Amino acid sequence: MSAATLKPQKTQTPKREAETATERLEVRLPRKDKLKILRAAKSFGESMTAFVMHAVWREVERREQAQEMIRLSRRDQQAFVRALLSPPEVNAGLLRAARAYSEGVQSGRVGT
């Protein structure tokens, strides 16, 4: 068979168990690739469908996290530039922190 039919099963991921699977996803791949996936699935005691769905969801989550990190980085960069262009007033807490850091460096407790 040259086409593997991927249909979600109840064993996908914990957050998706309650959903009813109504959609199908078909993938065409070389027979050797399908057999390799099937062997891997069996080695983990899973059906090929469950194995592929787990792999797909792990990748989806990984990419979503990577995208979120990029968004946070841009937001952090903008906050950093705003702070450089309009630095906050020096307050007592900042002065205490600077003094403690300076004393730590001089005593060798804090590295530079």
**Buried b or exposed e, range 73-92, using 16+ CB within 10 angstroms:** eeeeeeeeeeeeeeeeeeee
- pLDDT, tens only, 7-63: 444 444 445 566 888 999 999 999 999 999 999 999 999 999 999 999 999 999 999
Q: Give the separation between CA 44 and CA 46, rounded to whole angstroms.
A: 6
- pLDDT, tens only, 66-107: 988 887 788 888 999 999 999 989 999 999 999 999 998 888
Torsions phi, psi of 26, nearest 5? -115, 145
Token output for 108: 């060798």
